[in-house]
Amino acid sequence: MNNDRRRDIPRPFSFDKMRFKRVEVRADGVLYRGVLIGADDEDIYIKGALSWIILPLDKVVSVHLEGQRPGLDDKKDIAASFYYPPEDMEEK
């Protein structure tokens, strides 16, 4: 039973596996691209094409390797009928 409990505990997140690789970071509605240099408790550091980019972690929405966008989760996919009544969806 003790081993089952350990499997359920998530591991702390670390940017180490992405370090020194090209990443895409979305923060404040802007997509930033560059080489991830590192992160601390407050900021993420990226070497952009022309300058350094330092973003506060509380503004960062997503970080992933360049070209590897996260896939959509079927459980979170919402049909258009949720937003529009069925009569608006009919073609006229």
Residue 33: per-residue pLDDT:
95
The enclosing domain of 38 has a CATH number of: 2.30.30.100
Question: What residues are paired with 24 via a beta bridge?
Answer: 33, 64
In a domain, 21, yes or no: yes
Whether 1 shows a pLDDT value over 90: the answer reads no
Range of the domain at 22: 13-69
How many angstroms separate the most distant Cα atoms in the chain?
Answer: 61
pLDDT at 51: 95
In whole angstroms, give the CA distance from residue 61 to residue 68.
Answer: 15
pLDDT of 81 > 60? The answer is yes
Does the pLDDT of residue 30 top 90, yes or no? yes
In the Cβ-directed half-sphere of 86, how many Cα atoms lie within 13 Å? 0
pLDDT for 32 beyond 90 = yes
Domain total in the chain = 1
CA distance 78 to 92: 24
